[in-house]
Amino acid sequence: MNHADGTAVPEAASQADDAPRPEGPPQKMVAAREELTPMLSQYLDLCESHPDAIVMFQVGDFYEAFCEAAEEVARVCEVTLTKREDSTGTYPMAGIPIDNAASYLEALLDAGYRVAVADQVEDASEASGLVDRAVTQVITPGTVVDDELLSGATATYLGAVAGSGDETALATVDVSTGECQVTSGSAYEIGEELDRLAPAELLSAADAPDFELGFETLVSNPDPEAFDVDGASETLSAYVSAPESVVENESEMRAVGGLLDYAEYTQGDDGPLEYVSRVRRYDPERSLQLDATAIRSLELFESRSPSGGRTLVGVLDETACALGRRRLTAWLRRPSVDEREIRRRHDAVGELIDRPLARETVRDHLSEVYDLERLVSRVSRERANARDLRALKTTLDAVPEVKSALSEMETDPLQRLCDSLDELADVRDLIGEAIRPDPPQEITEGGVIREGFDDELDEIRATEREGREWVSNLEEQEQERTGIDSLEVGYNQVHGYYIEVTNPNLDSVPDDYTRRQTLKNSERFYTPELKRREDEILSASEKADALEYEVFTNVRADVAEEVERLQSLADSLATLDVLATFAAVAAANDYVRPEMGTDTVEIEAGRHPVVERTQGEFVPNPADFSDGHVAVITGPNMSGKSTYMRQVALIAILAQAGSFVPARAARLPILDRIFTRVGASDDIAGGQSTFMREMAELTDILHNATEDSLVLLDEVGRGTSTTDGLAIARATTEFVHDEVGATTLFATHYHDLTALSERLPEAFNLHFTVEKTERESGEPDVTFLHRVADGPSSSSYGVEVAKLAGVPSTVVERAREYIREADGADNGQADRAVETAEAAESDSPTATQATTNGQDGRRAGNEDGTETGNKPVEQEGTTSAPKDGTLAAYVDGIEATETDGRVTSDAEDDVLDEIRSLDVAGTTPLEALNTLDRLKQRLDD
């Protein structure tokens, strides 16, 4: 199949646009084609058949590139650019050492290139003339199989998309393990699935949508023929007997066929990939859907903190082996929605908690398990060496132990798992008998096959051994025969065996000695018998090495026959490792079994699984949605709102992944999706576009959430002016309440929102409590209690938080002054702003109702800060102020310091003028802090 056609230039390549591409045939060689030396002509041919890759061409111990490719390799890999000269011209050349190629190849992959590795495929010593070379693999970001280039914990996917509209299909394969999957749906759903899987390389068929990808990948438009439905069906038929029964539509067929065709190409195009034993069709809706935004904002796999804080997978990953590690990631990425399956996992985890001894025995033995999936894939790709087979044996040795520890388990899922563990005694014994316990890395140089396994090999080795024994006795014999005590027998690579006699003894050398080499103080000789023995030893050794290689490849081929059994064993071990890990984590951290399938979320004393592990004390909080599904959460900055919302989501994810959860008790429905929209403050650098992104994410949520979804909205509307933000936040809450019905947690600084609970029956208020104290100096101070309570919050304490964050005290003091001033001067303005917001909504009968009912927290003028919601409020402060999310609201309740009226310089006048002209009502707290900082700077200057 001609992959040359239509294969696009890698997008991530870092070349300047007008520079010649480093891939493909170098023009200089094309021009000199007829005169090229045989070797360069071979190089040119390989470049032509792999135009989408940089060809690294084996010359002795190096992989070399020539011409433009050489210049790029020298630049990217930081190796010296040399040149090769012959009668046809001078060609730039750059090489990387084969022994140490991995890091250089990685650099080329990172720079966005595919690399075609052209190995010498015949022994240079046996070749008559030019050594034959062939591309043995094309290394691409999505198809790397070398351990050194792969991360153990996560799968590296190659993806392919084909089709459009509602029949858009996505196929993925993890080339290192053979896991191949296909799905289809609307372009939107497939876009989300793509984001979730983030394949390292994506093949996009001509008719596939132009996805906006939120991750880095190498995209190419592949061979159209491979994506043709007939071609694809033919490719797939090499993997499954009835391709039509695996896929659900033509797009899926094309995606998976095109994908496998390309994967074969990268593995050297020698037919189907044996280790892809199963192609699985799946439906994303059969799992709890977490889009890329949710995965990111809940920090499942990556921390958002620049210093790299902990993640959910980080605190859970106590897996014993790489198989379990990947399965854990997969389960967290795609928690189940199958209540039965979830309960089965919980049953298993429960029993593993109750039987700590058996559990730890299982985990101990699992820690001896190597990365079976990748081992198996190497075996069937004929890449496994003797050490790999021994690693496979070590893994298989652990299985009976694991089985015996599991045999006492009583729950059905663990019993089934135990039954499903195939000990593969045949494979284990075969490797045990055939391969030496500590074999060398190379499989061509002997020392691999055990004695007693192959009679012919044993015979040859015996001849070799005998010969060597004879040589080792020779020294003593010859010393006796010649009377030269200092006579020595030795060996070197160039001259072979020799008898060395020092110059003073040369007179005693017998006649049958023939001179081999003269050194400064001695002469080296051989005898006819020594020569005969030497030939015998060397030929036996060579023969034995070759035979060992042959025997080894036969053993490997026999093992490869059992790929499916091995993969199914790997599958069971992976599942067991995760279940045992869930149990260990639950036991160590006091998790409980959640009750699943209830109507509403009800969590008693829930904890954030990551935060509780990263800080000394954690305050557990309840989450009870039995009386309403929309919680409006208020509270000062830093009081714990985001942590609380995320912990509800993480508890749900853990539960549906099969884990117990950090809480005293939890009753949970089976959620279909989790959406998150977290505050604009996190993306301040994005400026204007931040708000657009916020709104785009909000749109996504409002369109796609269902009543079975969990929605986290953190400060929606904060990215714009208070007036607009409040209006959006209100309308969103109403929509979620009336139309969507999703379990929703809405954290906000817009205290006006808390009034919604009065007229939205399913909405209720929660707030985070703080303790307000006074320092000795009389300054107000706050302590965060991180405790959630019913009802709305009465204060925000923005400036106090700024102070805690280390904003210089002069700025804080001035902030208090300014805010008091502004508060006094602009109270009317703030009122007007909210009135405007409400006027904008005046078409909405509900908004009017809220106003006329006088239920709005601020308008009701409830001076004592209580009873703005439908639940009693904890008493927090004694002062009152507007609770409208404006700057004034943020410093509500803070006593002003006396101003001394000392305004003297022009600079200070300017600053004051600027403050007077500020639209305080329309300023977000963060903007206010930035403004303060700037003003302070000006005063300092």
Ligand X SMILES: Nc1ncnc2c1ncn2[C@@H]1O[C@H](COP(=O)(O)OP(=O)(O)OP(=O)(O)O)[C@@H](O)[C@H]1O
- Rounded to a whole number of angstroms, the minimum distance from the CB of residue 272 to ligand X is 52
- Rounded to a whole number of angstroms, the minimum distance from the CB of residue 418 to ligand X is 40
**Phi and psi for 170 in degrees, rounded to 5?**
-130, 125
Environment class of 289 (CB within 10 Å of its CB; exposed 0-12, middle 13-18, buried 19+): buried
Q: Which stretch binds ligand X (CB under 6 A): 31-39, 614-622, 652-660, 855-863?
A: 614-622
Residue 29 counted as an annotated binding residue: no
Between 643 and 886, whose beta carbon lies closer to ligand X?
643
Strands 62-66 and 53-59: antiparallel
Q: Say which residues have a Cβ less than 8 Å from residue 274's Cβ, sequence separation at least 6.
A: 380, 381, 560, 563
Q: Assess 795 for contact with ligand X (CB under 6 A).
A: no
For ligand X, the binding residue among 611, 727, 766, 811 (CB under 6 A) is 611
Q: Could you say which residues in the range 420-439 bind ligand X, by CB under 6 A? A: none
Between 30 and 805, whose beta carbon lies closer to ligand X?
805
Cross-sheet strand order for the sheet of 133-139: 82-86, 89-97, 62-66, 53-59, 114-120, 133-139
Q: Which stretch binds ligand X (CB under 6 A): 352-360, 581-589, 630-638, 657-665?
A: 630-638
CA quadruple 109, 112, 114, 115: dihedral positive or negative? negative
Between 156 and 643, whose beta carbon lies closer to ligand X?
643
Residue 380 to residue 781: CA distance in whole angstroms:
67
Query: Which residue(s) pair with 767 in the sheet?
Result: 634, 789
Q: Assess 786 for contact with ligand X (CB under 6 A).
A: yes
40-60 burial, b for 16+ CB within 10 Å, e for fewer?
Answer: bbbbbebbebbbbbbbbbbbe
- Rounded to a whole number of angstroms, the minimum distance from the CB of residue 730 to ligand X is 19
Residue 82, amino acid:
T
Residue 717 counted as an annotated binding residue: no
Query: Which residue(s) pair with 120 in the sheet?
Result: 133
CB 897 within 8 A of CB 885: no
- Quickly count: other Cβ atoms within 10 Å of residue 322's Cβ: 21
Helix ranges (H only) for 806-905 are 809-840, 845-852, 887-890
Q: Which stretch binds ligand X (CB under 6 A): 99-107, 120-128, 253-261, 618-626?
A: 618-626
Residue 641 counted as an annotated binding residue: yes
What residue has token string 């029949």? 167
- Rounded to a whole number of angstroms, the minimum distance from the CB of residue 638 to ligand X is 4
For ligand X, the binding residue among 254, 374, 403, 641 (CB under 6 A) is 641
Number of residues forming the site for ligand X (CB under 6 A): 14
- Rounded to a whole number of angstroms, the minimum distance from the CB of residue 618 to ligand X is 4
Question: Around 16, how many Cα atoms within 13 Å sit in the side-chain half-sphere?
Answer: 3
Instruction: Work out the angle at residue 113's Cα, subtended by the Cα atoms of residues 107 and 117, and round it to the nearest 5 degrees.
Output: 85
CB 162 within 8 A of CB 169: yes
For ligand X, the binding residue among 205, 276, 638, 727 (CB under 6 A) is 638
Q: Which stretch binds ligand X (CB under 6 A): 61-69, 173-181, 447-455, 638-646?
A: 638-646
Pull the structure tokens for residue 657: 């992944």
- Rounded to a whole number of angstroms, the minimum distance from the CB of residue 789 to ligand X is 12
Between 296 and 641, whose beta carbon lies closer to ligand X?
641
- Rounded to a whole number of angstroms, the minimum distance from the CB of residue 636 to ligand X is 7
Cross-sheet strand order for the sheet of 496-502: 488-492, 496-502, 522-526, 514-518
- Rounded to a whole number of angstroms, the minimum distance from the CB of residue 301 to ligand X is 19
Residue 636 counted as an annotated binding residue: yes
The distance from CA 207 to its chain's CA centroid, rounded to whole angstroms, is 29
Environment class of 595 (CB within 10 Å of its CB; exposed 0-12, middle 13-18, buried 19+): middle
Between 555 and 638, whose beta carbon lies closer to ligand X?
638
Q: Assess 893 for contact with ligand X (CB under 6 A).
A: no
What residue has token string 């391709």? 243
Residue 815, amino acid:
A
What residue has token string 């014994």? 429
DSSP string for residues in 187-205: HHHHHHHHHHH--SEEEE-
Residue 917 counted as an annotated binding residue: no
Q: Which of these, 424, 769, 719, 773, lies nearest to 568 by C-alpha position?
A: 424
Q: Which stretch binds ligand X (CB under 6 A): 32-40, 295-303, 463-471, 613-621?
A: 613-621
Longest Cα–Cα distance in the chain: 127
- Rounded to a whole number of angstroms, the minimum distance from the CB of residue 807 to ligand X is 14
Q: Could you say which residues in the range 227-266 bind ligand X, by CB under 6 A? A: none
Q: Which of these, 788, 722, 713, lies nearest to 748 by C-alpha position?
A: 713
Q: Which stretch binds ligand X (CB under 6 A): 97-105, 519-527, 542-550, 610-618?
A: 610-618
Between 619 and 839, whose beta carbon lies closer to ligand X?
619
Residue 865 counted as an annotated binding residue: no
Q: Which stretch binds ligand X (CB under 6 A): 34-42, 264-272, 556-564, 631-639?
A: 631-639
Between 615 and 777, whose beta carbon lies closer to ligand X?
615
Pull the structure tokens for residue 889: 């609201």
Q: Assess 712 for contact with ligand X (CB under 6 A).
A: no
For ligand X, the binding residue among 640, 658, 669, 717 (CB under 6 A) is 640
Residue 165 counted as an annotated binding residue: no
- Rounded to a whole number of angstroms, the minimum distance from the CB of residue 794 to ligand X is 15
Q: Which stretch binds ligand X (CB under 6 A): 61-69, 431-439, 634-642, 898-906?
A: 634-642
For ligand X, the binding residue among 140, 168, 183, 639 (CB under 6 A) is 639
Between 277 and 647, whose beta carbon lies closer to ligand X?
647
Q: Which stretch binds ligand X (CB under 6 A): 336-344, 429-437, 612-620, 875-883?
A: 612-620
Residue 152 to residue 715: CA distance in whole angstroms:
37
Residue 936 counted as an annotated binding residue: no
- Rounded to a whole number of angstroms, the minimum distance from the CB of residue 786 to ligand X is 3
Q: Which stretch binds ligand X (CB under 6 A): 464-472, 529-537, 616-624, 803-811?
A: 616-624
Between 541 and 637, whose beta carbon lies closer to ligand X?
637
Residue 90, amino acid:
T
Q: Assess 669 for contact with ligand X (CB under 6 A).
A: no
For ligand X, the binding residue among 156, 319, 572, 637 (CB under 6 A) is 637
Residue 363 to residue 350: CA distance in whole angstroms:
16
Q: Which of these, 821, 824, 833, 798, lies nearest to 927 by C-alpha position?
A: 798
Q: Assess 634 for contact with ligand X (CB under 6 A).
A: no
Between 293 and 621, whose beta carbon lies closer to ligand X?
621
Q: What is the DSSP letter of 670?
A: -
Helix ranges (H only) for 291-338 are 292-297, 312-316, 322-333
Cross-sheet strand order for the sheet of 595-596: 595-596, 665-668, 602-606, 621-624
For ligand X, the binding residue among 241, 615, 688, 904 (CB under 6 A) is 615
- Quickly count: other Cβ atoms within 10 Å of residue 821's Cβ: 16
- Rounded to a whole number of angstroms, the minimum distance from the CB of residue 716 to ligand X is 13
Between 533 and 641, whose beta carbon lies closer to ligand X?
641
Residue 929 to residue 941: CA distance in whole angstroms:
18
Q: Assess 619 for contact with ligand X (CB under 6 A).
A: yes
Q: Assess 643 for contact with ligand X (CB under 6 A).
A: yes
Q: Which stretch binds ligand X (CB under 6 A): 510-518, 632-640, 654-662, 893-901?
A: 632-640
Binding site for ligand X (CB under 6 A): 611, 615, 618-619, 621, 635, 637-643, 786
Annotated binding site for ATP: 635-642
Annotated binding site: 635-642
